[in-house]
Structure 1
Amino acid sequence: MANIAIAAAPSNLVTPASSHQTLGGLRKRYLEDARHAIGRDEAPKSKRTAIETTPGPDIQWNPSFETYQARVEALSKLDIERPTTLPGGFPESIESSRVWTGADFGDEAKFVMRLDEAQVLEIDRALSYFKTRRPRLGLDEVSRQMFPLPTLKLKLKNISRNLHFGIGFSVIRGLDPRRYSAFDNVIIYLGITSYVAEQRGCQDSEGNMLIHIKDLGDERPNSELRQAPYARNAQPFHTDVCDILAMYVQNQAPEGGESHLASCGKIYNDIARTRPDVIHTLAEPNWIFDKHQKPAYWNRRQLLFNFKDHGPGFCFSRRPITGSPASPRSPGVPPMTEVQAEALDMVHFTAVEHKLTMQLQRGDIQLINNLAVFHARSGFRDTPMQKRHIMRLWLRNEELAWQTPEGLQRTWFEKYGDSERRKIAKWNAYAGATRERILSRSHSCS
């Protein structure tokens, strides 16, 4: 690996073209296309020549293990000063039930709660109770009070405690969404999850409170480079920007689409034990998050946080950091360093080593502590008669939520606070999205 850059160039520093790394693969094609497509005068004066900055490491959204291994080997041969102890306040290891590996779950009963006939009947009665008041109530008003579950509520409360203080994930199984209309499925989803985490987050700048994850390639011509919720490709390990991530499966894919989970605590413990310098890198608040705007705009924060009373946890998605085929990094946005690229891929491949894979079924509601558990998915294939469709919510339990660290407070305000996007909040009971939402680079779980 030639020309390894150890230090990040300051955001206002232009690197001479003669020192550029050789580009390869997707990064080369998309950066070169972007340079031809975007005029330099679209960037602010202080950043106009930033399009000529060094493109940074050879790293992709869906990472290559071979590239990662080569980078680790190349960096090991350089005389880099590496911390040998962990950052101040970070524990030697996390001792918690949220530290696990996939092999710990040979019996899915450890994380699946199966609804029996009486519990499904109780849900149906709660649905009827809410619908009798529907002329006066909107979806935003589905609540514990308006969706009464007198016996099931205790089990759901226990699930919430398990998410916040236990293994960090759960699956509720036993619903059949085919029995209900699209609108009724949303009511049921909101009603059940209100007992787990009552506050709902806004998921994008368009005010969408509910996202339908479904491949829309057949419905939107000329949309080959669709954003991940609307495509069928695999997704690497990441987190969203919420406290609790909920996924209600309306239909599973006939082939592929497996869900993969990995314990953030296990990943931290493995890296902290062998590479404390990487913990320093992950916890530094200097990671560049591309906001995919014109002119080029980005923010900086860390990937690893030390949560009060809970210890280290992660919050990041790779796309704003590495770019992706659908969202290549914006010209003018500073690159990450090779040291950061090593750390980023180390997190992913440690997650792969310890992952739990599950094939979610129609009607499953998967619940994940987004700060304690990474998630990923396999690519999938639809057929004309069966198309994968999942409804996604971002949730927060005000009583049990982990304390939001300073580096995430602005983002959390956008999702849960009295933000501009919350003021235009809207609910879409039916699958689909605007063309702008499908193709826009600026919508990001960052």
Structure 2
Amino acid sequence: MLHARVIPGPDIEWNPSYETYRARVESLSRMDILRPQGVPEGFPKTVDAPWVWSAADFEDDNRHILSLSESEIVEVEHALAFFKGLPGDLGPGDVSCTTFPLPHLRSKLGGIAKNLHLGFGFNVIRGLEPQKYSSYENIIIYLGITSYIAGKRAVQDSGGSMIIHVKDLGRQIAHSEMRQSPYARNAQPFHNDVCDILAMYVQEQAAGGGESHLASSAKIYNEIAATRPDVIHTLADPSWIFDKYTPAYWNTRAILFNYTGKGPGFCFSRRPITGSPTSPRSPGVPPMTEIQAEALDMVHFTAVKHQLSMRLQRGDIQLINNIAVFHARSGFQDRRNQRRHIIRLWLRNEELAWKTPKALEKTWFEKYGNSERRKIATWNIEPGATRERILFRSDSCS
């Protein structure tokens, strides 16, 4: 496209402004807009399921934290030794329930798998001490434990990365002020990744900030459906524009889906829709509408209203049903001797996974299927990434 320019659109930011949102709600309320009075056909008026919750439901940490006993940690270390003692040139991709045996812990991990898919949708496994192990050993332990929860692993970028190290790399990469969020220390608004189960293994906490925020997708749905069913129509409409970060190329799909047997769930990140400071909208790509902007920010601020915040500890493994639960993070600060470092996996439990909607099947095949990206699968044991992965949105994971 010759002389393409960024097409103006609504005043909406990647990290949303509540004042701008309320002004838009008020402005649109004065317009003569035909607003449906019920939710779309096939969508429930309300979701009644264990994954409908608010922060007040989790005053007791015991509901979502599995604290490993000394004997269970010993069992994990025995499984690590078993894997390392197996014949052949085995690597991270060979870790499974068979090669990492946990005969006693497996029942508790199976319970977590059921909770992620059928319960409130998130858990934390606590008690590991990553400083006791080498980088390679931490990866094997992480893969071994999670293989009992969701054994299929997704490729996370076009370079075939099966693991992403979430760490601020600003000190390592010169002139990288516009680096992508996994490699920066900025706050992130509520979003979904492109996976079934999101896993985060904390190697080190930030010196300050970096809190994890979770919110129930079904709780958000119920509140919006009860007060603004017209917004549910907007969210479920397949006309949302996702910038693919190549000149004047985009695709369209809904951001809210009615999952078979489970009900409504979201799948989107704001960045391809709104653009962000590190990923401005591409020239020639059409903007969203004012009605879509209202809906997008309504989801975010409803999530904020009900969010559960937690400060993860070093050694924690956080697991999230990415469809049932939104996640966000606070900005953080590092010190020279204390730098936030989290290892991310995208996982799937083939037996328990929510059925993938047709509109997402192509994306899910790219991540979990025998795609070209998976054929070049790489296991990055140490933190770091290519300059292209850190800076350029076309090589990012969403």
Q: Same fold, TM exceeding 0.5?
A: yes
TM-score by length of 1: 0.88
Deviations 1:36-90 (A, max 9, x none): xxxxxxx3xxxx46x3574110101000000000000000000011111110000
Aligned to 2:287: 335
- 1:283 aligned onto 2:241: no
Q: State the 4+ residue runs in structure 1 displaced beyond 2 angstroms.
A: 51-54, 443-446
How many Å separate the matches in 2 of 1:445 and 1:55? Answer: 26
Identity %: 67
Q: Which residue of 2 aligns with 1:202?
A: 155
Q: What amino acid maps onto 2:273 in structure 1?
A: I
Q: Retained in 2: the 8 A contact 1:239–1:445?
A: no
Q: Aligned AA for 1:362?
A: R
> Among 47, 67, 85, which residue is 1:94 paired with?
47
Q: In structure 1, which of residues 393, 398, 412 is the aligned counterpart of residue 350 of structure 2?
A: 398
Question: Are positions 1:126 and 2:79 aligned together?
Answer: yes
TM-score (norm 2): 0.99
Contact 2:151–2:348 (Cα < 8 Å) also in 1? yes
Residue 100 of structure 2 corresponds to residue 153 of structure 1: no
1:168 aligned partner: 121
Matches within 5 A, 1:237-256: 237-256=190-209
Distance 1:425 1:441 in 2: 20
Query: How is 1:196-275 mapped onto 2 (pairs within 5 angstroms)?
Result: 196-275=149-228
CA RMSD, aligned part only? 0.9
Deviation at 1:133, TM superposition (A): 1.8
Say whether 1:429 aligns with 2:381: yes
Bigger Rg over Cα: 1
> Matched residues in 2 for 1:137 and 1:445: separation?
27
Distance in 2 of aligned mates of 1:123 and 1:406? 39
5 Å-filtered alignment, 1:330-409, equals: 330-409=282-361
Which residue identity does 2:112 align to in structure 1? I
In the alignment, the residues of structure 2 paired with residue 55 and residue 388 of structure 1 have an alpha-carbon distance, to the nearest angstrom, of 37
Aligned residues: 398
1:156-182 superposed Cα distances (whole Å, 9 cap, x missing partner): 000000000000000000000000000
* Alpha carbons 1:307, 1:313 under 8 Å: kept: yes
> Is this contact kept in 2: 1:262–1:356, CA < 8 A?
yes
Between the aligned partners of 2:297 and 2:329, the Cα distance in structure 1 is: 17
Tell me how far 1:136 sits from its aligned partner. 2.3
Is 1:116 matched with 2:69? yes
Contact 2:235-2:295 within 8 A present in 1 as well: yes
Could you tell me which amino acid in structure 2 is paired with residue 435 of structure 1?
A: R
Paired residue for 1:305, among 230, 235, 257?
257
Separation in 2 of the partners of 1:80 and 1:134?
Answer: 68
The answer to whether the Cα contact below 8 Å between 2:213 and 2:328 also exists between their aligned partners in 1 is yes
Contact 2:6/2:281 (<8 A) preserved: no
> In the aligned structure 1, how far is the partner of 2:86 from the partner of 2:13?
50
Kept in 2: contact 1:238–1:375 (CA 8 A): yes
Contact 1:142 1:191 in 2 (8 A): yes
Tell me by how many angstroms 1:296 deviates.
2.1
* Unaligned residue ranges in structure 1 (runs of 5+): 1-42
Q: Deviations over 1:403-436 (max 9, x none)?
A: 0000100000000001000000000110111101
1: CA distance, partners of 2:302 / 2:37: 20
Amino acid at match of 2:76: I
Judge conservation of contact 1:317–1:445 (CA < 8 Å) in 2.
no
**For the residues of structure 1 that align with 2:87 and 2:54, how far apart are their CA atoms?**
44
Q: Contact (CA 8 Å) 1:316, 1:445: kept in 2 or not?
A: no
